[in-house]
Amino acid sequence: MKRIALLGMPNTGKSTLFNRMTGGAARVGNWPGITVELLSGKILLGGDMVEIIDLPGIYDLHGFSDDEQVVRHFLHDNVPDLALVILNTTQIERQMSLLLQLKQLNINFVVMLNMADEAKKFGITVDVTKMSALLELPIFLLSAKYGSGYPEALQAITRALRYPTPGMAEQLRSQLEQDEHIEEEMARVLQHSVQVPARLSDQLTEKLDSVLLHPWLGLPIFFAVMYLLFQGIFIFGQPIQAGVATGFTWLREAALVPLLGGLPQAIQGLLLDGIYNGVATVAAFVPIIVLFFLFMAMIEDSGYLSRAAFLMDALMARLGLDGRGFVMLLMGFGCNVPALMGTRVMRSRAMRLLTMLVIPFSLCSARLQVFIFFTAALLSAKAAPVVLFSLYLFSFATAILTALIFKSRFKNSEPFVLELPPYRFPTLRQMVLRGWVEVRHFLRRATKFIVAGVVMVWLLTHLPPSAVPASHDTIAGMIGSALQPIFAPIGINEQLTIALIFGFIAKEIVIGALAVIYGLSGTALSGVLGHQLDWVQAYSFMLFTLLYTPCLATVATLQSESKQTTFTLLSLVWSLGLAWLVSFAFYQGARALGY
Amino acid sequence: MCATTLAALHSGDTATIVSIHAEEALHLRLLALGFRTGKRIEIIRKASFSGPLQVRIGTTDVMLRRIEAAKIKVLKS
């Protein structure tokens, strides 16, 4: 099968083009370095199946960061039949250098000048015919986002694939060191084929930045935006979640109970009280997850994350981290796993490890479900969003504390130089695609962990068969009692302890597990919890849930990214220890104050 | 016209890059972002609390810390 590799600098739209070509869903964001994994897709081109690979963006082939090495090794080991080089037209005067570096590699090329829509807005004109002639390469103007120029480009790609690969040059590195030649060549091509206005006319970005990056308004605005975001998710999402949960309960009573009535009692229990209650309670959160990721996609695609890096770098520098680390924390709000992988753009291993140590404290969307459920069950509609926001502040505070404590062990002098892209607005298509990806991701986790998890919980709370379900005599009851000396001082009862143990696998299971343990779902479960716990216990439980190990996938990623078992263990022990200490301090403190 | 480093400039200033004194990895990254001798550079703003600088070279906006900016010698215009 022929192979096409997408190459270019970070944030030039490679993933957007990849999605357009394959109909796939590579994660797109207005943040340099969002592609950290190699993604591939197969499509039919000119009658043959062709594989397309989306490579991480690189600034130059000499690079020393992990992602640049990934690209170099990939090109070495898998010579593509065609390299599709994507350049950002608005930055062509500097991106040309990468094209010229690549050109020396002696592969088949097709060049895409992407973001033609933006370039037009900025008043940059490119004489493509002239540039093609000067470089002796096929060059096309394209807007991967809106699709203009795409059919012509696709035709050229199909044509180019007919020619055989010239073969990879042997001495890759020595060839690449001809920087001087590249400088001259660049000046020659640009001078003849590109016109850039003296001053960019991106008024909108300038105006937005003058407010959003204001010396002392910038940070308050940032936190206000965050607050409104979470408030929005709670206010819009919670009623939908409650509605869906009610729907699931109705479905159970109206259809499933009569349908399964003929089955033996134990099987009925496992199917209805175990799997159905557990999975339905978790599935009710899908609308919130979609809403959350739509908001996240909007912020990520807009370019505001780079502004957050700019605003927070001064603080992060004092913690031994940098602005990128802060952005990774924000991305961790979605899911910790990609945020951990995103640290690959850091060259200094010490800084990378320190960033990876703080990311698991980032309040991910799975934990968000637990908190929305608990705050809605125990607190008034007015207090709930405020309490939710306080957990986000706790999430930041523990990340800061962790960095302060460990920064001397992970000393580094990593330079901080980062592009600041203009603001961009995501298309509806991009946002819908992103929401769909997250739902699919959730469903995959659901089938893998949640079903297995709730079945386990059901078995533990119903075995041995002689015991009364969920009583002290069941296996779960025995485990819960055995662990009470550890959990009683932080106000967590036996049932919640079992849920926490399963939360180690994935936080989505926590609510599902509680549904199974109490044999209730949706609003009925909220009612019982609200009755059984007071707010001090609930907050202590939420603090523990926030801080202890996020999920097995995060632990596995910590290990695969650090390749150092002692580091993974440090992260595990530290987060468990900190979770207990913080919950203990809060619970005992609140009780001592008479709450 | 006076010779200084990028870190010493104020927002709104423009200058011409004279030389870059950075270690290899940083030097390559700066080159890739368009920092070259003879290029004009504009300081857009400086973040508070001794935070990073936002500079513009050609059509690219870049943020960099004051420590890194101090490694770039410029001629203020």
Residues of B in contact with A63 (CB under 8 A): 28-29
Q: Check pLDDT > 70 for residue A197.
A: no
Q: Check pLDDT > 70 for residue A167.
A: no
Looking at residue B56, its pLDDT comes to 93
Check A94 against B60: CB less than 8 A apart: yes
Angle, vertex CA A576, rays to CA A574 and CA A578, nearest 5: 65
pLDDT, tens digit, for every residue of A323-375?
999 999 998 998 898 889 888 888 889 999 999 999 999 999 889 989 998 99
ipTM comes to 0.94
- Reading chain B (77 residues) residue by residue, the pLDDT tens digits are 578 999 999 999 999 999 999 888 888 888 888 888 888 999 999 998 899 999 999 888 999 999 999 999 999 88
Q: Pick from A122, A200, A417: which is nearest to B29 by CB?
A: A417
Q: Check pLDDT > 60 for residue A499.
A: yes
Check A417 against B28: CB less than 8 A apart: no
Q: Pick from A310, A314, A322: which is nearest to B50 by CB?
A: A314
3-state secondary structure of A117: helix
Query: How confident is residue A525, by pLDDT bands cut at 50, 70 and 90?
Result: confident
**Which chain B residue has the Cα nearest residue A307?**
B63
Strands (DSSP E) found in A69-158: 82-88, 109-114, 125-126, 139-141
Average pLDDT over residues A375-403: 91
3-state secondary structure of A482: helix
Q: Check pLDDT > 80 for residue A259.
A: yes
Residue A584 CB-half CA count within 13 A: 11
Of A172, A439, A133, A144, the closest CA to residue A287 belongs to A439
3-state secondary structure of A32: coil
Of A82, A74, A44, the closest CA to residue A56 belongs to A74
Nearest CA of chain A to the CA of B3: how many Å? 23
Residue A310 CB-half CA count within 13 A: 29
- Which segment of A126-140, A159-173, A212-226, A284-298 scores lowest on mean pLDDT? A159-173
Check B31 against A122: CB less than 8 A apart: no
Looking at residue A183, its pLDDT comes to 66
Contact A360, A575 (CB under 8 A): yes
Looking at residue A314, its pLDDT comes to 93
- Output DSSP code: residue A48: E
How many whole angstroms separate alpha carbon A353 and alpha carbon A320? 11
Strand partners, B72: B20
Looking at residue A299, its pLDDT comes to 84
Check A216 against B48: CB less than 8 A apart: yes
Instruction: Give the sheet arrangement for strand A39-45, strand by strand.
Output: A39-45, A48-54, A2-8, A82-88, A109-114, A139-141
How many whole angstroms separate alpha carbon A61 and alpha carbon A175? 11
Count of CB pairs separated by less than 8 Å, A with B: 112
Strand partners, A8: A86
H runs (alpha helix) in A488-564: 494-503, 508-518, 522-532, 535-547, 552-562
Percentage of residues in chain A with pLDDT exceeding 70? 92
Q: How many residues does chain B have?
A: 77
Q: What are the backbone dihedrals phi and psi of residue B63, each rounded to the nearest 5 degrees, phi first?
A: -110, 140
Check B47 against A310: CB less than 8 A apart: yes
DSSP A432-466: HHHHHHHHHHHHHHIIIIIHHHHHHHHHHHH-STT
Cα-to-chain-centroid distance, residue A305: 13
Looking at every residue in chain A, the average pLDDT score rounds to 86
- Output DSSP code: residue B64: E
Check B34 against A59: CB less than 8 A apart: no
How many whole angstroms separate alpha carbon A500 and alpha carbon A522? 19
Q: Check pLDDT > 70 for residue A583.
A: yes
How many whole angstroms separate alpha carbon A154 and alpha carbon A148? 11
Residues of B in contact with A422 (CB under 8 A): 61
Looking at residue A471, its pLDDT comes to 79
Q: Is the peptide bond before A550 cis (omega within 30 degrees of 0)?
A: no
pLDDT, tens digit, for every residue of A277-325?
888 888 888 888 888 888 888 888 888 999 999 999 999 999 999 999 9
Chain A interface residues facing chain B, Cβ-Cβ under 8 Å?
Answer: 9, 59-60, 62-64, 90-91, 93-94, 97-98, 122, 124, 179, 183, 196, 200, 209, 213, 215-216, 218, 306, 309-311, 313-315, 317, 322-323, 347, 415-422
Residues of B in contact with A59 (CB under 8 A): 28-29, 32-33
Q: Check pLDDT > 80 for residue A126.
A: yes
Q: Check pLDDT > 70 for residue A63.
A: no
**Which chain B residue has the Cα nearest residue A8?**
B32
Query: How confident is residue A175, by pLDDT bands cut at 50, 70 and 90?
Result: low
Q: Pick from B28, B30, B51: which is nearest to A314 by CB?
A: B51
Residues of A in contact with B30 (CB under 8 A): 417
Contact A107, A30 (CB under 8 A): no
Nearest CA of chain B to the CA of A422: how many Å? 8
Q: Pick from B36, B50, B59: which is nearest to A91 by CB?
A: B59
Nearest CA of chain A to the CA of B44: how many Å? 10
- Two structure tokens written together for A442: 């959730």
Looking at residue A385, its pLDDT comes to 86
Looking at residue A241, its pLDDT comes to 86
Looking at residue A111, its pLDDT comes to 93
Residue A129 CB-half CA count within 13 A: 0
Contact A329, A308 (CB under 8 A): no
- Output DSSP code: residue A137: S
Looking at residue A434, its pLDDT comes to 78
Q: Which residue has the higher pLDDT, A488 or A186?
A: A488
Average pLDDT over residues A29-55: 76
**Which chain B residue has the Cα nearest residue A122?**
B59
Checking phi first, is residue A106 left (phi over 0); if not, alpha (psi -120 to 50) or beta?
left
- Two structure tokens written together for A395: 């999430």
Q: Check pLDDT > 80 for residue A511.
A: yes
**Which chain A residue has the Cα nearest residue B63?**
A418
pLDDT, tens digit, for every residue of A402-460?
999 999 999 988 899 998 988 888 788 888 887 788 778 877 877 778 888 888 888 88
For the four alpha carbons of A425, A429, A431 and A434, in that order, the dihedral sign comes to negative
Contact A460, A474 (CB under 8 A): yes
Q: Which residue has the higher pLDDT, A109 or A523?
A: A109
Contact A457, A463 (CB under 8 A): no
Check A93 against B25: CB less than 8 A apart: no
Q: Check pLDDT > 90 for residue A37.
A: no
Burial (0-12, 13-18, 19+ Cβ within 10 Å), A311: buried
- Two structure tokens written together for A532: 């059984």
**Which chain B residue has the Cα nearest residue A215?**
B48
Q: What are the backbone dihedrals phi and psi of residue A112, each rounded to the nearest 5 degrees, phi first?
A: -115, 120
Looking at residue A577, its pLDDT comes to 96
How many whole angstroms separate alpha carbon A359 and alpha carbon A550? 10
Residues of B in contact with A347 (CB under 8 A): 25
Q: Pick from B26, B32, B63: which is nearest to A420 by CB?
A: B63
| Mutation site for A-interface testing, chosen from B14, B23, B24, B60 by largest number of A Cβ within 10 Å | B60
Looking at residue A202, its pLDDT comes to 67
Looking at residue A490, its pLDDT comes to 95
